[in-house]
Amino acid sequence: MLKRRTVIAAGLSLASVPMLARAAAAQGGKKPLLIFAGDETSEACKVWRTQWEPLFKQAPVFQKVDYRVVFPKTPALLLKPASWPADLRWVLDAFLMSQVGIEQGAETPRFFLVQNGQITFTAVGNNAWRDVMWPTLLDVTNSQP
């Protein structure tokens, strides 16, 4: 009888290992998400798209994050849910309900860092990208410049 219980318990333990491994990989292996939100009329966004974005895409840190772009024609459209992909609309909702969202609204270029399903950091402007968001990304991904 003892052997049967041991075999059943061992079998259940082994059966759960792949499931636990998949769950750990899904949680732990998920990359941070960087969202660039801008608009076609902003000169600062044009600078980001032509100067900073190409450098970012060539850097090793780019391989360690998921990168998404929300880039409607005008700043007003940036604040409309229809301008955002359906899976990212929660980011806009959370932003608009935050003090930063209330105060800064459609200021661009804006960057959102999302980790584990939560916005962990946001910055606005090319200087904030260079001085704050870039070092934060390097730190979060354990990367070198």
The answer to whether the Cα torsion of 112, 92, 90, 66 is positive or negative is negative
Place of tokens 């970012």: 56
Q: Which among 117, 119, 76, 77 has a CA at the least distance from the CA of 95?
A: 119
Q: Which among 35, 112, 91 has a CA at the least distance from the CA of 68?
A: 35
Token pair recorded at residue 46: 């044009």
As beta bridge partners, residue 136 has none
* pTM for the structure as a whole: 0.79
- 80-129 pLDDT per residue, tens: 999 999 999 999 999 999 999 999 989 999 999 999 999 999 999 999 99
Spell out the domain ranges in the chain: 1-29, 31-140
Q: Which among 134, 108, 126, 118 has a CA at the least distance from the CA of 37?
A: 108
Token pair recorded at residue 26: 């899904």
Residue 138 CB neighbours (<10 A): 16
Q: Kindly report the CATH number that applies to the domain delimited by 31-140.
A: 3.40.30.10
- 39-62 pLDDT per residue, tens: 999 999 999 999 999 999 999 999
Residue 144 pLDDT more than 90? no
Amino acid making up residue 128? A
